[in-house]
């Protein structure tokens, strides 16, 4: 049941959309971003975002087995070392344990990403966490998302 519509909160939507526009144009691989979005949405139990990003990833050519298995990425051989580093980073930032240092994860990320790309990954992870929390609070109904016809990858 939808509790709040983004139409009723246009300022909130516009603020978060501005950050999303940055992430969408920052140059990170789209399929990597969708893997991250699916994984973070799993952690946050955001059914609407899972529906959306599963469909977006499939539309972009991602395989269903990689999307279904992303919560168990450590147990598979489907993901590259770069993707594994990004997924570990997404999980770390999403859980953000106060007592844990993030030095080790940055040591792994720097093997595959520039500092600018790490900053952009950080923003992408912050962004999907923001959407997850807004969508869950607002109560958007899952299962109805359709990939826009104009979406290109």
Instruction: Please check whether residue 153 lies inside any domain of the structure.
Output: no
Q: What is the pLDDT of residue 91?
A: 95
- Length of the chain, please? 153
Q: What percent of the chain has pLDDT over 90?
A: 78
Q: CB count, 10 Å around CB of 8?
A: 11
Mean pLDDT, rounded, for 16-21: 96
Question: Do 78 and 66 contact (CB within 8 A), yes or no?
Answer: yes
Residue 51 sits in a domain whose CATH number is 1.20.1290.10
Q: How far apart are CA 83 and CA 74, in angstroms?
A: 11
Query: What is the count of structural domains for the chain?
Result: 1
pLDDT at 152 over 70: no
Q: Give 4-63 as a 3 state SS string.
A: CCHHHCHHHHHHHHHHHHHHHHCCCCHHHHHHHHHHHHHHCCCHHHHHHHHHHHHHCCCC
Structural domain of residue 67, as residue ranges? 16-138
Average pLDDT on 22-47 reads: 97
pLDDT of 101 reads 73
Distances 119 to 35, 60, 126 between C-alpha atoms, Å:
17, 24, 11
Residue 24 lies in a domain: yes
CA dist 89 and 70 (Å) reads: 14
Domain assignment present for residue 62? The answer is: yes
Predicted local distance difference test score (pLDDT) of residue 122? 97
pLDDT value for 103: 81
Is residue 149 in some structural domain?
no
What mean pLDDT is predicted for residues 144-149? 88
Residue 3 lies in a domain: no
How does the average pLDDT of the chain come out, rounded? 93
Domain presence at residue 145: no
Do the Cβ atoms of 41 and 50 come closer than 8 Å? yes
């Amino acid at each position: 049941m939808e509790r709040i519509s983004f139409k009723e909160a246009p300022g909130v939507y516009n603020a978060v959309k501005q950050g999303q526009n940055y992430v969408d144009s920052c140059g990170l691989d789209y399929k990597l971003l969708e893997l991250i979005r699916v994984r973070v949405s799993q952690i946050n139990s955001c059914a609407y975002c899972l529906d959306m990003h599963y469909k977006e990833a499939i539309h972009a050519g991602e395989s269903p087995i990689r999307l279904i298995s992303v919560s168990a990425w450590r147990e598979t051989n489907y993901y590259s070392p770069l993707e594994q580093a990004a997924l570990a980073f997404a999980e770390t930032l999403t859980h953000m344990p106060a007592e844990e240092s993030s030095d080790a994860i940055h040591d792994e990320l720097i093997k595959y990403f520039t500092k600018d790309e790490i900053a952009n990954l950080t923003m992408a992870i912050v962004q999907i966490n923001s959407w997850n929390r807004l969508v869950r609070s607002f109560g958007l109904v899952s299962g109805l998302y359709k990939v826009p016809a104009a979406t290109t990858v």
